[in-house]
Amino acid sequence: MSMTDVLGAEDIKKAVEAFTAAESFDYKKFFEMVGLKNKSQEEVQKVFRIIDKDRSGFIEEEELKFILKGFLPSSRDLSDKETKALMAVGDKDGDGKIGMD
């Protein structure tokens, strides 16, 4: 399964292009631009599984660093600062990983 099975290719491209500059990543804006806000829980879970490269059921910091590549392989990696900021928002229980819930 690929992202374009769930999200529009043009939406993904525009969202990734909006955050090409280092330190520009805004997760709320990005997820809105790719269309995740309008997707069902099942569709969001499909996207989660694509990002969860090691199939652990969690997204760890190392996978999060490459989150944009999960949407568009040619995109940039997040900086350490961006990765840590995104982890802090998604890691609700402080265990260093983001669960599907």
Binding residue ranges for Ca(2+): 52, 54, 56, 58, 63, 91, 93, 95, 97
Residue stretches of the annotated binding site: 52, 54, 56, 58, 63, 91, 93, 95, 97
Determine the Cα–Cα distance for residues 57 and 25; give it in Å rounded to an integer.
24
Determine the Cα–Cα distance for residues 100 and 83; give it in Å rounded to an integer.
18
Determine the Cα–Cα distance for residues 35 and 73; give it in Å rounded to an integer.
18
